[in-house]
Amino acid sequence: MDHKVRAKQVEKIKEQTIRNSQPDDITIFGGDCNFGFPGERSRAEKILAPQFVCATSAIGPTLDGRYSENVPHLPNRIAKLLSFFGIATKLCTDHFFVNSGDKRTENLKVRVLPDRVSDHSPLELVF
């Protein structure tokens, strides 16, 4: 997928999230973002700023390419090809974003759980 299309999708998520949130809400959104291209997550973080920050930027890989589906997304295709040759690829694709500047979200703890769900490891977010 074209990086410009992804940027537009992130902008739309930001706009809709802001529009649907109340001023005192704790806002959490995310999931399988498929950020696989170099710099893609940091571009999304810039688009979402200053209202939202990435709570998962330091958690490490969440996707094991050996179990990836062969979908029309270049990082998945590369991971699938490498897995054919027995090479495991680890990608940081799953993320949580939270509203920035809120004291209630400053001490969030996020970790990758050891269980694998499909090609992803689940994330735990604790307040």
Tens of pLDDT, residue by residue over 85-116, are 988 888 888 999 999 988 888 888 999 998 87
- State how far the Cα of 71 lies from the Cα of 84, in Å rounded to an integer: 15
Tens of pLDDT, residue by residue over 24-62, are 889 999 988 877 777 889 999 999 999 999 999 888 888
Name the more confident of 83 and 28: 28
Q: How far is CA 121 from CA 11, 32, 33, 117, in A?
A: 26, 11, 13, 6
What is the pTM assigned to this prediction? 0.85
- Note whether 114 and 121 are within 8 A (CB): yes
- State how far the Cα of 63 lies from the Cα of 127, in Å rounded to an integer: 24
Residue 118 has pLDDT above 60, yes or no: yes
- State how far the Cα of 33 lies from the Cα of 44, in Å rounded to an integer: 10
